Amino acid sequence: MMLIKKSITALVVVAFTLICSSSYPQSNVYMITEKFDSGGGDFTLDSVFVTDPAGLTTAYSIPHFIPDPSGHDSQFNMILNSITNLGYEIVEFGALYHGSLYLGQSVAVRTIFLKEP
């Protein structure tokens, strides 16, 4: 009887630990993905996607870097600073990927990774 009680207690502790540990984010990493849109010669907006450690992604539209580089950089820096102000630091810049799609659209993407120190 005592062995069953200890086994059940151990099982409850293990289950509680697994449930609690899975409710917290594992990576503590923010990802900022910037997509330089220029499909069909439209240089109006670029897209920025921010994914937080919980996996929630927020999309932003900022001025395209070709017609308005200062507006682009200003708004991108505001997004970046909002994360670094939380204590996150840049740990890696992903390589700039550039690809041409078959419909004449050109897409370039880069990703920045930020992690708590």
* pLDDT value, residue 41: 64
Domain ranges of the chain: 25-115
Residue 15 has what pLDDT?
Answer: 39
**Interatomic CA distance for residues 25 and 11, integer angstroms:** 23
Closest CA to 73 of 48, 99, 93: 48
One pLDDT digit (tens) per residue for the chain, 117 residues: 545 544 444 443 343 334 433 444 447 999 999 887 766 666 778 889 999 999 999 999 998 877 888 988 899 999 999 999 999 999 987 766 666 655 556 677 888 999 987
Q: In the prediction, which pLDDT does 20 show?
A: 39
